[in-house]
Amino acid sequence: MIFKLSDKKYSMKKNKIALNLALFSTALSGVLVGALVVNKPTSTDIGASFAATEKYHQSVTERSQTATSKSDVADKLSQDFIKIAKDVRPTVVSIYSTKNIKQTARYHEFLDDPALKKFFNSPHGKKFQENNGGGLEEEQAPSKEQGLGSGVIIDKSGLILTNNHVIEGADDISVILNDKRKFKAKVIGADPKTDVAVIKLEKSSNLPVAIIGDSNKLSVGEWVLAIGNPLGLTSTVTSGIISAKGRADVGIADFEDFIQTDAAINPGNSGGALINLQGEVIGINTAIASKTGGYMGIGFAIPSNMAKKVMTDLIKSGKVTRGFLGIQIQNMTETLAKSLNVEDPNNGIVVGEVSPDSPAAKSGIQRYDVVLELNGVAVSDVNSFRNMIASDDPGQTIKLLLLRDGKKVNANIKLGSLDPSKTASNLNKPNQTNPHKNLKPALPDRKLGFELEELNPELLKRLGIPKKITGVIITSIASDSAASQAGVGRGDIIQEFNKNKIVTMIDFNKAVKSLKSGDSVLLKINRVGQPVLLAFTYP
């Protein structure tokens, strides 16, 4: 019975709990339904939610695809570098040159004593000889100067292209290949004017050969690799881009048209290869611009097209033949353009002088002619024009488009052969150091800003000027004058004023008399034996 009683009480308690749960459930349902009624989502909200979700997924996908794409590009470039290095490194060699330098030890006169001679004489029988004034010299074994550079194999027989400065004056040349084989080499030919040389390995054959590319097709920003022997670290590969083209006035060679690159180049890289992404040699690494002697991000390479022409001549005849026109030229300036009625000062170069009996003289080229085109290609600077002329063979006919007194003139000229003893002349350097000293000012012209003196035999002798030179000499010049700012300097000899010949001060005064404020002044001056054209505006 107790058991049943207990069952009954338990049953009543169970029913009470169920009732309370039902009431709580009902209340909770009401709250939830109320909330849903109050915050019921509209179809617009649902659509926006789906759109946002879709946009998010699309953004994630795009970022993933972009990252993958960038990774693919970087991997492709890396694979290109790997393949180029593998293919080209065997064609780049290390060059070690040795130069014997004779040395003598100089002894003072007080050592000219038999006992001291015996004391200082070596056991090997070094001989002492009398020197002027009783001093002594001891003949010593020559010292050896070591040189280090790189080169590029251009023929399977062992012909190697390098820089002239790598092998210049060498008494012994050794070459080590990428596979560690070592050979002796001899010089086939060298050209200091472009800093190019060709050497040949002895007793070699069937060597790997580099492919020479077309440097004219290069673009600034293009990827390149430099391969060489920097600081003795053989077969080093560095990467960079083409920073600039047509760099001149670097001061390394007479004919300069350098490719500038930021691919790391250091001492020992000279003569090595600059490679494009097609695995072609498009330059021969030559020099760096550096304040420390090490890499600073500016390297220079000889363009392959220039090197190829020189290389071909050296292999064929051991020397380089260059076209010769016979004019001295300078770059255009705004003041020169105004004086010569040239519309665009960025177009054309000016003829400053024509050599007698030269191809240019025979073809009627005149001083003050403006060269606009060479063989249909626009001319804008002296260096590129000189390089194009020099790259042509003697006997070749060129076509020039000239501007003469405001009219265009065509000229066909058969090139002569450049005298190898002549160096490049660039007249576009108006601020050269002038040796004339002790000039006495005379005949001041305040508006022009300089003072003049007429040349006479005594002055010519005192200044060391050849008797054939005529004109009036500038004895002083105001630094803030228009003439000074145009490049006119003390010691310059004025030979023409606005195309009027000047021999005496009377000639000069006549030429100046008609000038008005704002007129152009065009001077032909002689500066240390070189003709220079300068122009400025009369104040």
Catalytic residue from among 150, 270, 304, 339: 270
Closest CA to 248 of 487, 429, 100: 429
Catalytic residue flag (residue 57): no
Q: How far is CA 284 from CA 157, 270, 274, 300, 393, in A?
A: 20, 8, 6, 8, 22
Q: Which two tokens stand for residue 409?
A: 């003139």
User: How many other CB atoms are there within 10 angstroms of residue 59's CB atom?
Assistant: 10
Burial class (CB in 10 A: 0-12, 13-18, 19+), 119: exposed
> Residues 6 or more apart from 33 whose CB is under 8 A from it?
none
Phi-psi region of 157 (alpha: psi -120 to 50; beta: other; left: phi over 0): alpha
Burial 130-159 (b: 16+ CB within 10 A, else e): eeeeeebebeeeeeeeebbbbbbbbeeebb
Catalytic residue from among 191, 195, 313, 492: 195
User: How many other CB atoms are there within 10 angstroms of residue 284's CB atom?
Assistant: 32
Gap between the Cα atoms of 57 and 52, Å rounded:
9
Give yes or no for a contact between 530 and 433, defined as CB atoms under 8 angstroms apart: no
Which secondary structure element, helix H or strand E, spans residue 197, and what is its range?
strand 196-201
Give yes or no for a contact between 253 and 194, defined as CB atoms under 8 angstroms apart: yes
User: How many other CB atoms are there within 10 angstroms of residue 514's CB atom?
Assistant: 9
> Residues 6 or more apart from 472 whose CB is under 8 A from it?
452, 453, 454, 455, 493, 494, 502, 504, 505, 508
Gap between the Cα atoms of 355 and 422, Å rounded:
13
Catalytic residue from among 97, 150, 165, 262: 165
Catalytic residue flag (residue 165): yes
Q: Which two tokens stand for residue 492?
A: 């310059």
> Residues 6 or more apart from 203 whose CB is under 8 A from it?
183
Q: Which two tokens stand for residue 533?
A: 């054209």
**Catalytic center residues:** 165, 195, 270
